[in-house]
């Protein structure tokens, strides 16, 4: 992957997530996907930019809006889609669904649907790296809603106190479900909270994949080299509803349109076109390539099988001693 293809890879990475999520919305309407479904549309630049800065030895802990993180981390799209369907070929064997994507091969530790619940886990993964002398980085993602949770503060303190290699990625999309940040926080400048634990904290334009890419690379490098935990706040926006049950009474159409004008996929495409790195023909080819991969993923999920009911009580306890 040379420097010349890096920017195209970023664009393709975002486009994959965008089209995947759009397909999920359709499949939800078609009742192929049930339960809660939280789409990442509008926030693609964050997952793509951060994951690109990580290595295979690093660990990722994500939230319930994590399809984009899983795809960007390299989890197979077919396995992710099969998981949405609840099929046993899914990346969590069908037991988790949309909010609980897991993949040991890419060190993707979920898929945690308790807001703030993944942060202590990330601290522990980093502690294990420290105690065993591995030079891994643990990247944990969470929304700005998590900063109201005690677990956020406890985990930030612990990571800083023990100087652990954790990269805290706060995806600030301004709303915790329907509650705006300024209606839930006395201090809305989130980097100040991180700074109070003595860790470097940067605010990053989460709609600009190059800005995310650059910040993530610097932060990961610093964390890996013993710089202790870092906190990145990505200013981003969710274009779609919180979940499939959200009438969006809490924000104005104008506000949504305003953010949509900064669409991370569209605006980066425009940049690459202006710089002559991609033309209309190449864009169409990229769309086709992404579409074909997605068709394959859906076909894989469709062809998947249901876990036999006799296996219901599996995975409560380990079946073999490890």
Partner 1 sequence: MTDVATETRTITYREAVREAIRSAMLEDDRVFLMGEDVGRYGGCYAVSKGLLEEFGPERIRDTPLSEAAFVGAGIGAALGGMRPIVEVMTVNFSLLALDQIVNTAAVYLHMSGGQFNVPLVIRMATGAGRQVAAQHSHSLEGWYGHIPGIKVVTPATVEDARWMLPTALADPDPVIIFEHAGLYNSEGTLPDQGAPVDLETARIRRRGSDISLVTYGGSLPKAMTASEELARDGISAEVLDLRSLRPIDTAALLSTVASTHRVVIIDEGWKTAGISAEISSRIAEEAIWELDAPIRRVCSEEVPIPYPRHLEEAALPQVDEIVAAARELMGG
Q: How far is the CB of 294 from partner 1 (least distance, A)?
A: 23
Q: How far is the CB of 272 from partner 1 (least distance, A)?
A: 37
Whichever of 161 and 270 has its CB closer to partner 1, that residue is 161
Whichever of 138 and 236 has its CB closer to partner 1, that residue is 138
Q: How far is the CB of 318 from partner 1 (least distance, A)?
A: 4
- Adjacent-strand bridge partners of 201: 231
Q: How far apart are CA 162 and CA 197, in angstroms?
A: 11
Among 64, 102, 234, 268, binds partner 1 (CB under 8 A): 102
Q: Closest by alpha carbon to 142, among 158, 126, 128, 153?
A: 153
Q: How far apart are CA 3 and CA 9, in angstroms?
A: 10
167 exposure class (CB count in 10 Å sphere: 0-12, 13-18, 19+): buried
Considering the rule CB under 8 A, would residue 51 count as an interface residue with partner 1? no
Q: How far apart are CA 137 and CA 125, in angstroms?
A: 9
Among 187, 252, 261, 318, binds partner 1 (CB under 8 A): 318
Please give the biggest Cα pair distance in the chain: 58
Among 2, 150, 226, 308, binds partner 1 (CB under 8 A): 150
Binding mask 244-273 for partner 1 (x = CB under 8 A): ------------------------------
Nearest 5°: the CA angle 15, 75, 19 is 20
Whichever of 117 and 206 has its CB closer to partner 1, that residue is 117
Q: How far is the CB of 73 from partner 1 (least distance, A)?
A: 14
Binding mask 104-143 for partner 1 (x = CB under 8 A): x----xxxx-x--x-xxxxxxxxxxx-xx-----x-----
Two tokens, residue 38 = 């939280």
Q: How far apart are CA 174 and CA 42, in angstroms?
A: 12
Considering the rule CB under 8 A, would residue 316 count as an interface residue with partner 1? yes
Q: How far apart are CA 65 and CA 145, in angstroms?
A: 13
Whichever of 126 and 147 has its CB closer to partner 1, that residue is 126
Considering the rule CB under 8 A, would residue 312 count as an interface residue with partner 1? no
Whichever of 170 and 174 has its CB closer to partner 1, that residue is 170
Binding mask 195-234 for partner 1 (x = CB under 8 A): ----------------------------------------
Q: How far apart are CA 139 and CA 25, in angstroms?
A: 27
Binding mask 57-96 for partner 1 (x = CB under 8 A): --x----------------------------x-xxxxxxx
Among 66, 151, 171, 263, binds partner 1 (CB under 8 A): 151
Q: How far apart are CA 69 and CA 110, in angstroms?
A: 10
Two tokens, residue 126 = 């980093």
Task: Name every residue whose Cβ is closer than 8 Å to that of residue 220 and which is 6 or more positions away in sequence.
Answer: 53, 54, 58, 137, 139, 167
Nearest 5°: the CA angle 115, 39, 284 is 145
Whichever of 245 and 317 has its CB closer to partner 1, that residue is 317
Task: Name every residue whose Cβ is closer than 8 Å to that of residue 121 and which is 6 or more positions away in sequence.
Answer: 61, 109, 112, 140
Q: How far is the CB of 283 from partner 1 (least distance, A)?
A: 37
**Interface residues toward partner 1, by CB under 8 A:** 59, 88, 90-96, 100, 102-104, 109-112, 114, 117, 119-129, 131-132, 138, 150-151, 154-155, 157-158, 161, 314-322
């Amino acid at each position: 992957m040379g420097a010349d293809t890096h920017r195209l890879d970023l664009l393709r990475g975002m486009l994959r997530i965008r089209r995947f999520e759009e397909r999920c919305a359709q499949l939800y309407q078609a009742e192929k996907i049930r339960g809660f479904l939280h789409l990442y549309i509008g926030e693609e630049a964050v997952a793509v930019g951060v994951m690109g800065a990580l290595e295979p030895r690093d660990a990722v802990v994500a939230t319930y809006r994590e399809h984009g993180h899983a795809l960007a981390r390299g989890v197979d799209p077919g396995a992710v889609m099969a998981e949405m369907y609840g099929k046993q070929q899914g990346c969590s064997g069908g037991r988790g669904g949309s909010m609980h994507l897991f993949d040991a091969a890419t060190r993707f530790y979920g898929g945690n649907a308790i807001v703030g619940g993944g942060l202590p886990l990330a601290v522990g993964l980093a502690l294990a790296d420290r105690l065993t002398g591995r030079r891994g980085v643990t990247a944990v993602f969470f929304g700005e809603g998590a900063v109201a949770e005690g677990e956020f503060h406890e985990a930030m303190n612990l990571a800083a106190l023990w100087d652990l290699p954790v990269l805290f990625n706060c995806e600030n999309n301004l709303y915790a479900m329907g509650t705006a940040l300024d209606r839930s926080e006395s201090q809305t400048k989130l980097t100040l909270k991180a700074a109070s634990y003595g860790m470097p904290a940067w605010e990053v334009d989460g709609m600009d994949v190059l800005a995310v890419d650059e910040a993530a690379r610097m932060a990961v490098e610093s964390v890996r080299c013993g710089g202790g935990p870092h906190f990145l706040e990505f200013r981003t926006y969710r274009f779609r509803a919180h979940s499939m049950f959200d009438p969006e009474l809490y924000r104005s159409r104008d506000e949504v349109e305003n953010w949509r004008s900064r669409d991370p996929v569209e605006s980066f495409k425009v940049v690459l076109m202006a710089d002559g790195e991609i033309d209309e023909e190449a864009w169409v080819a990229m769309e086709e390539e992404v579409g074909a991969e997605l068709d394959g993923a859906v076909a894989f999920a469709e062809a998947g099988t249901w876990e036999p009911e006799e296996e219901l009580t599996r995975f409560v306890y380990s079946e073999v001693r490890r």
